[in-house]
Amino acid sequence: MKNRGVVLRKLRQVNKLNLKQAARAIGCSVGWLSEIENESEKCRIDDGEYQRILAIYKGDEHKKLIHACLSQTKAAKIEKTISYDGSILNPDSRIKRVN
């Protein structure tokens, strides 16, 4: 599943933990947790470890939040891929009407 880092960051914030506190609770380094939250290509997390961290963050209590977080992330990615900042027509071009 993608966006695990986004979910973990949101749950950490909901639990009012900073990175250092969360890393201590999880039993990992601050750097590793930061890379996971930022979805670094260098750092991967398997299903078992993800589920273990979700349990520490009380993920079962926040299922609606997780779903909303994933929905927002997907919507933002879609919006980012279809956004267009330029004009379609050259402002100096003239459109002739055909009758």
The CATH number for 44's domain is: 1.10.260
How many independent structural domains does the chain possess? 1
Tokens of 95: 């459109």
pLDDT at position 9, please? 93
Residue 55: inside a domain: yes
Whether 48 contacts 18, CB under 8 Å: no
Could you give the CA distance from residue 90 to residue 69 in angstroms, rounded to a whole number? 39
Residue 85: inside a domain: no
Does residue 69 sit in helix, strand or coil? helix
Residue 63: inside a domain: yes
Residue 49: inside a domain: yes
Residue 90: inside a domain: no
Domain limits for position 18: 4-73
pLDDT at position 37, please? 92
Whether 37 contacts 92, CB under 8 Å: no
* 16, amino acid identity: K
Between 88 and 65, name the one with better pLDDT: 65
Whether 1 contacts 69, CB under 8 Å: no
pTM greater than 0.85 = no
Q: Is the pLDDT of residue 1 over 60?
A: no
Q: Convert the pLDDT of each residue in 2-43 to its tens digit.
A: 788 988 999 999 999 999 999 999 999 999 999 999 988 888
Residue 22: inside a domain: yes
- Range scoring the smallest mean pLDDT among 23-27, 66-70, 91-95: 91-95
pLDDT at position 94, please? 52
